[in-house]
Structure 1
């Protein structure tokens, strides 16, 4: 017996889980998803994740009948049934099932699935030492602000980056960095400003990014929402990326150029500590 997963209203062993052949998430990528970090059995920034899920559903006019409290109960059920201490809980909502057609029926029953993944989220080698990221042209569709399951562009970019010896990849469009393939990109200028992209249709609004912005405001750190170029990123004092599954991870090399002195910088270390403190993780 493996994990217990959630499929269309039931908790079942993963070996017994099934989705329909004509599920539009499977056929068209007509689905959205969210991933919430779990540390010591507790969900982190889940209010931000569920708010983003609701927004994504609204943008696609997928009308899930479950309330936020219902969804939280599913998440808690998955965490409890799988005795998850550290890792993530994944949710996915598709528009539903109908015979394959680009046009979908007016009344459909959305399908919710969920599962957990056990992972080490804190104290990782990447967080301690930093990572190198590749730079590649952004291959994705226009509406990146909707967290859909259409991730083939990201898969291709990450796979190509790994083949070139990089841990991850930042995407570039119109001469500026959009975001990481599964993260939000940040740089720190030499005068101590933290730069990251503002919310728009070009990028996914990061939940960890938003939580970190709140902490910066609370602690008097200067954060500026604007696009930056690959040249600015390479010449920055520091760089880092954020996501639910990697928290705050230093970026110490971009392409073939070291960032700063090639080691995680003091601002990144400060932000790592502030985020873990806010998440209730012991130092």
Structure 2
């Protein structure tokens, strides 16, 4: 899949082949940074406000100064799409680190943050969305501040790899049996028409799509209950699904080799998938920035 040439940095736009940082970069040496992944449909970013707001919350939590104002960031993201001529489905990857300085655990003085953002093609996972996916369970060994979207993702990488080695799409994480979230998505259980998910505390990521799922449930009269559930509750559930910017609303039909519900995507999941698709289309139709950028 194509990674497009124009990359946004803290100093402006550069060609991806010209992107260089000093050897002592804190993101590389300490994971001292934050990131966002923003979904793009038909050339328009989806949930851009939610992603930018979360980016700044993460930055504040780890005391990193973002090089641009929020308003500038919105326009820079749209300009990034425009410069690369994006008119299809893609994703923006955006990363900010504390900067480049001689290696020391304490924050360096008078060091500016490093930022880069690029665009990559990303088709919708239509077959998975239609048919559902399998998952495995893994102990959640991450740190307690997962609400910060930091670069420290090694436990997530190991969990996702464990899922891949068992031919599964995702790893469902739990602490002593209590389900938190997944390696790269939030997770939900459907029982008797109600949706259950872990409360939005510091030990899970407050997903941008998760917020929309809650809104979709409200619009459809579906109870959205922030209540942790246990691993064993999964096999008594009527439905299970995931959400993330790249997975959208993804049905889970098997966990640890055991069938979930009827073994097919359920009614509530299908309803929320439809709401997601409608919302993404409306967002593209009502883009606040594309026409302004195109006119520049």
Q: What TM-score, normalized to structure 2?
A: 0.91
**Contact kept in structure 2, 1:213 and 1:223, CA below 8 Å:** yes
Query: In the alignment, which residue of structure 1 is the partner of 2:83?
Result: 81
Contact conserved, 1:2 with 1:15, CA < 8 A, in 2? no
After superposition, the C-alpha distances for 1:177-208 in whole angstroms (9 at most, x for unaligned) are 1101000001101x111011111111010100
Aligned partners of 1:237, 1:264: CA distance in 2, in Å?
Answer: 10
Alpha-carbon offset, residue 218 of structure 1: 2.2
Which range moves more in the overlay, 108-117 or 3-12?
Answer: 3-12
Quote how far apart the aligned CAs of 1:15 are. Answer: 1.4
Provide structure 1 residue ranges, at least 5 long, that are not aligned to the other structure: none
C-alpha contact (below 8 Å) 2:140/2:173 kept by paired residues: yes
Aligned-residue offset at 1:106: 4.3
Secondary structure (helix, strand or coil) at the match of 1:280 reads: helix
Deviation at 1:7, TM superposition (A): 2.4
CA distance in 2: counterparts of 1:174 and 1:45, whole angstroms: 33
Does the alignment pair 1:267 with 2:268? Answer: yes
Partners of 2:94 and 2:173 in 1: how far apart? Answer: 25
Task: Give SS of 1:78's match.
Answer: helix
Q: Residue 132 of structure 1 contacts residue 254 of structure 1 at CA under 8 Å; is this kept in 2? A: yes
CA RMSD in angstroms comes to 1.6
State the match for 1:227 in structure 2.
Answer: 228
Equivalent-residue separation in structure 2 for 1:111 and 1:167 (angstroms)? 32
Q: CA deviation at 1:73?
A: 2.0
3-state SS, counterpart of residue 242 of structure 1:
strand
Residues of 2 paired with 1:257 and 1:19: CA distance?
A: 47
Q: Distance in 1 between matches of 2:84 and 2:235?
A: 42
Deviation by residue 1:53-82 (Cα, 9 ceiling, x = unmatched): 110001001122411121122211221122
In the alignment, is residue 97 of structure 1 matched against residue 100 of structure 2?
A: yes
Q: Secondary structure at the match of 1:74?
A: helix
Using the alignment, how far apart are the partners of 1:156 and 1:144 within structure 2? 16
Normalised by the length of structure 1, the TM-score is 0.95
CA distance in 1 between partners of 2:272 and 2:123 (Å):
19
Deviations 1:111-154 (A, max 9, x none): 111001101126x1110100000101112122111000111111
Gaps of 5+ in 2: 285-296
Between Structure 1 and Structure 2, how many residues are aligned?
Answer: 280
In 2, Cα distance between the equivalents of 1:266 and 1:186? 14
Pick from 119, 123, 146: which aligns with 1:120?
Answer: 123
Aligned to 2:175: 173
Contact map agreement 1:7 1:18 (CA 8 A) in 2: no
